[in-house]
Amino acid sequence: MVLVGGLALLSAALTLLYLLRSSSRPQLSHLTVLSEPALAWPGCASSTPPDCPVDPFRRPGMIYWGGGASETRWLPFPPSLASEPQFASMETLDRSGELSERDMDELGAPERLMPEMARGGGAWARGKSVLFIGDSHDRNNVYHFCDAVGGRYNSWGDHTGGWCRVDRLELTLAVWFLYGLPDQDYPWHAPNEPRPKTAGGRITEVFLPRMAADGMGNFTPDLVVMSSLFWDSDHMFEGYFSEFAVQRPAQHGLSFHELRFHQQQAALLISQIRAQYTPQVPLMYRSRHLRANNDGGRMLRVTQMDQGWRAVCERAGVRVFDWGSKLEGYTDYYDGQQHFAAPGPATWLFGDMMLYYLRQAMDVERWWACFQP
């Protein structure tokens, strides 16, 4: 009963926060949004139930590649530091690199939920839905996941979004494509893209009408995964530097003030989604991955904004979908820039993670009771 009352209080507080913010002047102090008490998770570590599941994707580990993309699996390292004879000498190490399913299960590897669904399983996900708010990485992941599990993808355009439906499960994955997180429709930002360009404008004027036109006017996600990094780096801040003649060495990346602006916009997006789909909706932030090069300091900028997002998530009760960091060092980019070769290992890692968190999100009260920043 205490948890239910706490969730109700959180709902009212976050909704009021959004309404107050949306009616306030746009020149808010760069500290205002991130210092709002209502954005903070109201629980504490001491109140976490003892039976909360251990998130295998939060544990240090490695990607086990297997013999093909569909065998990709996150493999946590064992917590014990005890010496094991089979690892005592390089001369006697198993050089095949192979592990059995039993080996991986004993190490606490997460279930292979995507392969199970691709084989016709996944009945537990019947009638569920996930919303991805982000960019081409989210679009590509959803598209290739959809194809692998026998779904059908309906596109609104590469830079607009679309949705996947797995008919036999009535499972829906929607993708909303952002042009970064500008605070208004600047003419120098993404000049070849149609307005609106702000996240809020695209939600109300593009995404929700598209959903309604496709018969999903009552769409309510069980899980929302959001991100905004690459368009902010490569388009929004590039345009900003040019428009305002910002002279700064590329190796310095973004300034403190620029990063605080981006954090404030990220916090506003979180508030907008909670106002649209109730404050209790489970939210996650999809972390960055490393691009193929650091031309113009773009890799640094993405890393800086990723750190900013993580700080916002700690304050706002948003979990981290840490897909990107697990792929560091994996540089099979089909465009030589930032887009992973797909379908491939990145897709199957994404699918297992997405389905794991969807299953956790199906119990909303437990999701919040077990939240750890």
| CATH code, 217 | 3.40.50.1110
Assigned domain for 121 exists = no
Specify if 352 maps to a domain: yes
Q: Which helix (H) or strand (E) holds 117?
A: helix 113-118
| β pairing state of 171-177 and 161-166 | antiparallel
Q: State mean pLDDT over 156-178.
A: 98
Number of compact structural domains in the chain: 1
- Residues 73-92 have a mean pLDDT of 92
> Is residue 265 domain-resident?
yes
pLDDT the model gives residue 47? 54
Q: Does a structural domain hold residue 71?
A: no
Whether 62 maps to a domain, the answer reads: no
* pLDDT score at 223: 99
The better pLDDT of the pair 53, 267 is held by 267
- Whether the per-residue pLDDT at 314 is higher than 50: the answer is yes
pLDDT the model gives residue 48: 62
Instruction: Please determine, for residue 17, whether its predicted confidence score (pLDDT) is greater than 60.
Output: no
CA-to-CA distance for 259 and 236, rounded, in angstroms?
Answer: 12
Q: What CA–CA distance (Å, rounded) separates 207 from 175? A: 9
pLDDT the model gives residue 292: 87
More confident residue, 16 or 181: 181
Structure tokens at 8: 């109700």
Q: Give the lowest-confidence range in 3-12, 14-23, 338-347, 353-362.
A: 14-23
Q: Is residue 241 part of a domain?
A: yes
**Residue 63 belongs to some domain of the structure:** no
- Give the E-state strand segments of 81-149 in sequence order: 129-134
Give me the percent of the chain exceeding a pLDDT of 70.
Answer: 87
Residue 21: strand, helix, or coil: helix
Which pLDDT does position 371 carry in this prediction?
86
- The average pLDDT across 96-100 equals 90
Q: What is the rounded CA–CA span in Å between residue 182 and residue 187?
A: 11
Q: Contact 5/371 with Cβ under 8 angstroms?
A: no
- Whether 363 maps to a domain, the answer reads yes
Range of the domain at 355: 2-22+128-369
Q: pTM surpassing 0.85?
A: yes
Q: What is the pLDDT of residue 342?
A: 82
Statement: residue 23 has pLDDT above 80: no
Say what angle helices 345-361 and 136-148 make with each other, to 10 degrees. 90
pLDDT digits (tens, 9 = 90+) for 185-236: 999 999 999 999 999 999 999 999 999 999 999 999 999 999 999 999 999 9
